[in-house]
Amino acid sequence: MGTTRITAEPGMPFIDIEREFDAPRELLFRAHTDPELIAQWLGPAKYRMQVERLDVRDGGSWRFVHFDDRGNESGFRGVFHGEPSVDGILQTWEFEGFPGHVSLESLVFDERDGRTTLRIHAVYQSVEDRDGLIASGMEGGMNEGYARLDALVGRLARVA
Amino acid sequence: MGTTRITAEPGMPFIDIEREFDAPRELLFRAHTDPELIAQWLGPAKYRMQVERLDVRDGGSWRFVHFDDRGNESGFRGVFHGEPSVDGILQTWEFEGFPGHVSLESLVFDERDGRTTLRIHAVYQSVEDRDGLIASGMEGGMNEGYARLDALVGRLARVA
């Protein structure tokens, strides 16, 4: 199974993420943009994920909600800058529990020999915002999500 | 006449801009969101400015074009994250001549005693992107634009 590499240089407002998947980039793109697919993998395993809105186009917006066992909600939202495609996705990203602190993230799907490396470059409005997100434990939830995404695109690749 | 203060700390991907205007913040907001008004002030004086699209809402997009004497075009585009209001505007920003290099900028209109300080915090995907924009001579065009904006909101304030 692949591992996720996270780079967060001290004192800079960036996070870089790199994760390889055993599937072509079309499937990675689909898993990021099809509401039924993204609900199956994004976020920590302990939450139920609901896609409230995912309007995949230039200027389209998205909103996802995670529910815990007791029904508590965590909302996330953003808009797409430019047309999302297999060449990449550029979007804003905001956790509604920390409103007004928004990041801009680019996702690139780099395919070689049928395997695809997902590269994310996220930039925050301050180093404090970036550090706060890392301190919140994003890494654990992301790893759980990518393990499920790995399994999902593996199943899709076998079906295709 | 007010002066524009630009801060760009070396080695960081931020630009901060501060400019005071002798007008209430409602007028500054209008001058940023009304297509007929924004066309009167934004950008270097030597260009004709055309607002191709300015859809002021959460997820709305905008596109502006500057034309020089010989009809050469420079296009700029972005999308709004969140509902733009007198409390602030958050938007992506891209110069089409340097595609794929996008920034995220917040504008805040801070009014005190009838005067308003516009504060912009822009964050770039890399320090190189930020440095390239500064090297392109953005400061001169911005100062010309803000001098026109100053005169425009002054006229609007006298009419109101």
CA distance A140 to chain B (A): 25
Of all helices (H) and strands (E), which one includes residue B66?
A: strand B61-67
CB spacing of B78 vs A81 below 8 angstroms: yes
Per residue in B35-76, pLDDT (tens digit) is 999 999 998 888 999 999 999 999 999 999 999 999 899 999
pLDDT at B1: 58
Nearest neighbour of A92 by CB, restricted to B14, B61, B92: B92
Per residue in A115-149, pLDDT (tens digit) is 999 999 999 999 999 999 999 888 888 999 999 99
Instruction: Give which of A80, A89, A105, A125 to mutate to test B binding, by max B Cβ within 10 Å.
Output: A125
Q: How many angstroms separate the CA atoms of B78 and A91, rounded?
A: 11
pLDDT at B160: 72
Handedness of CA B31, A102, A57, B57 (dihedral sign): negative
CA distance A71 to chain B (A): 25
Determine contact, residues B103/B92, Cβ cutoff 8 Å. Answer: yes
B58 vs A contacts (CB less than 8 Å): 61, 79
Amino acid A94 reads E
A107 vs B contacts (CB less than 8 Å): none
CB spacing of A104 vs B123 below 8 angstroms: yes
pLDDT at A1: 58
ipTM rounded to 2 decimals: 0.94
Give the chain A residue nearest B57 (alpha carbons). Answer: A59
CB spacing of A59 vs B58 below 8 angstroms: no
Q: How many CA atoms lie within 13 A of A137 on its CB side?
A: 5
Nearest neighbour of B79 by CB, restricted to A59, A121, A125: A59
Query: What's the predicted TM-score (pTM) here?
Result: 0.95
Determine contact, residues B15/B7, Cβ cutoff 8 Å. Answer: yes
CA distance B60 to chain A (A): 6
CA–centroid distance for B134 within its chain? 15
pLDDT at A102: 98
